């Protein structure tokens, strides 16, 4: 009885793992963008904030037509500026400086989502030698919000992710290679752990073949494929249509779920994994492409981001494997495979519907 109870718990855990994705949009992380340019005693900033979240926070849509016009944003200029002054804090050589809001305009990311682009200007008492920044935007609405920032200090650029109260400190004369590398490594790890569609895809691949050799072939094929397209898209050699990429990822999940219901031989599955891995790589690249990274540090940012993705992926697979191996040894294997594959198929179709409508 105890053994059956334990097996029932394992089944329940597997089903919960799949079904939990239905309650979450794939890639639910709230993201905004910023660019800071520090030249002499002048700091120019461009902030891009998701319009839907800004509206939820400030009720910008006054006529309740489910759209925020630039005229409605202008009418709320005072409220927006006051919010930015409180949430974007800069210190130049130990002296706090306040920004002034300039122009506002609409902007779309690679996925077609609307942002409000805001220009801010700062003036320091003297030419800046050390700058300290805190960007705490939209965390009062979305605690896990991330601001992906490009910071230009004189003639060089760095990348930084503002989240969870992190503070950026930069010296005009100092190098920031390792700081940027660490930032993109962490960003890659977080991206795969919050990429529920990628996790479900991996789970669907592994549920039908838990032998170690098959697992190594599948994971290696996926890694090589998505590394290729991640590099191509980030370097600008290929420019995929964002919504088609996201729809393709959803379709790959639905296909794997469907195939799992009938597949008997998995030793050649690494081939279809490679094809779908190419599509998932374009999905990984979306976050880097939206940052408009400078060419000078692009290779390092790309490498460390991909390394972070791989570290996260290996961790996820290592956590999955013991559970899948155990299920493969029980008499519930076929039932668990079929039920979870149906859930994966349903999730893929649900996400496909979301992304094409």
How much is the pLDDT for 38? 93
Span 158-173, mean pLDDT? 85
Contact criterion met (CB below 8 Å) for 55 and 66: no
Q: What are the C-alpha distances in Å from 332 to residues 5, 164, 341?
A: 12, 43, 14
Instruction: Write the pLDDT tens digit of every residue in 53-103.
Output: 999 999 988 888 878 888 888 999 999 999 999 999 999 998 999 899 999
How much is the pLDDT for 29? 62
Q: Is the pLDDT of residue 10 over 50?
A: no
The tokens describing 41, both together, are 């005693």
Contact criterion met (CB below 8 Å) for 84 and 118: yes
Beta strands 130-135 and 100-108 are unpaired
In terms of average pLDDT, the best of 117-131, 199-213, 283-297, 317-331 is 117-131
How much is the pLDDT for 111? 65
Within the chain, what is the greatest distance between any pair of CA atoms? 76
> What are the two backbone dihedrals, phi and then psi, of residue 139, each rounded to the nearest 5 degrees?
-70, -20
Instruction: Compute the distance between CA of residue 176 and CA of residue 260 in angstroms, rounded to an integer.
Output: 47
Instruction: Write the pLDDT tens digit of every residue in 205-246.
Output: 888 865 777 788 888 999 999 999 988 888 878 888 878 888
Q: pLDDT band for position 343 (50/70/90)?
A: very high
Q: Is the pLDDT of residue 123 over 90?
A: yes
How much is the pLDDT for 24? 40
Beta strands 146-153 and 100-108 are unpaired
The tokens describing 257, both together, are 């779920």
Instruction: Compute the distance between CA of residue 9 and CA of residue 14 in angstroms, rounded to an integer.
Output: 9
How much is the pLDDT for 34? 94
Torsion angle (degrees, nearest 10) of CA 61, 141, 136, 124: 20
Q: Is the pLDDT of residue 50 over 60?
A: yes
Q: Report DSSP letters for 302-328, one per residue.
A: HHHHHHHHHHHHHHHHHHHHHHHHHHH
Instruction: Compute the distance between CA of residue 84 and CA of residue 81 in angstroms, rounded to an integer.
Output: 5
How much is the pLDDT for 251? 94
The pTM score is 0.61
Q: What are the C-alpha distances in Å from 192 to residues 302, 328, 349?
A: 15, 26, 21
Span 12-36, mean pLDDT? 57
How much is the pLDDT for 13? 41
The tokens describing 15, both together, are 């089903």
């Amino acid at each position: 009885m105890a053994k059956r109870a334990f097996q029932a718990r394992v089944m329940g855990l597997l089903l919960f793992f799949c079904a939990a994705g239905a309650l979450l949009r794939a890639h639910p992380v709230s993201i905004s963008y910023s660019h800071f340019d520090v030249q002499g005693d002048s700091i120019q900033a461009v902030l891009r904030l998701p319009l839907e979240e800004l509206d939820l926070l400030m009720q910008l849509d006054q006529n309740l037509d489910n759209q925020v016009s630039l005229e409605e944003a202008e009418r709320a200029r005072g409220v927006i500026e006051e919010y930015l002054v409180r949430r974007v804090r800069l210190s130049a050589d130990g002296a706090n400086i306040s920004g002034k809001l300039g122009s506002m305009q609409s902007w779309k990311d690679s996925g077609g989502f609307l942002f409000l682009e805001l220009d801010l200007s700062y003036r320091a008492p003297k030419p800046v030698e050390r700058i300290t920044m805190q960007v705490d935007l939209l965390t009062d609405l979305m605690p896990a919000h991330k601001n992906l920032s490009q910071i230009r200090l004189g003639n060089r650029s760095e990348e930084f992710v503002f989240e969870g109260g992190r503070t950026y400190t930069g010296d005009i004369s100092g190098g920031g290679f390792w700081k940027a590398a660490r930032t993109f490594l962490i960003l890659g790890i977080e991206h795969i752990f919050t990429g529920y569609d990628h996790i479900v895809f991996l789970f669907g691949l592994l549920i039908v073949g838990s032998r170690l050799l098959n697992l190594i072939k599948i994971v290696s094929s996926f890694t090589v494929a998505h590394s290729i397209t991640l590099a191509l898209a980030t370097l600008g050699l290929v420019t995929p249509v964002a919504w088609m990429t996201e729809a393709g990822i959803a379709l790959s999940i639905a296909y794997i779920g469907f195939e799992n219901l009938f597949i008997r031989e998995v030793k050649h599955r690494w081939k279809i994994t490679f094809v779908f891995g190419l599509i998932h790589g374009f999905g990984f690249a979306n976050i880097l492409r939206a940052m408009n990274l400078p060419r000078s540090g692009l290779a390092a940012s790309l490498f460390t981001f991909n390394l972070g993705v791989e570290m996260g992926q290996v961790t996820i697979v290592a956590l999955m494997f013991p559970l899948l191996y155990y299920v493969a040894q029980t008499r519930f294997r076929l039932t668990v495979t079929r039920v979870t594959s149906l859930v994966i198929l349903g999730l893929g179709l649900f996400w496909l519907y979301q992304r094409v409508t």
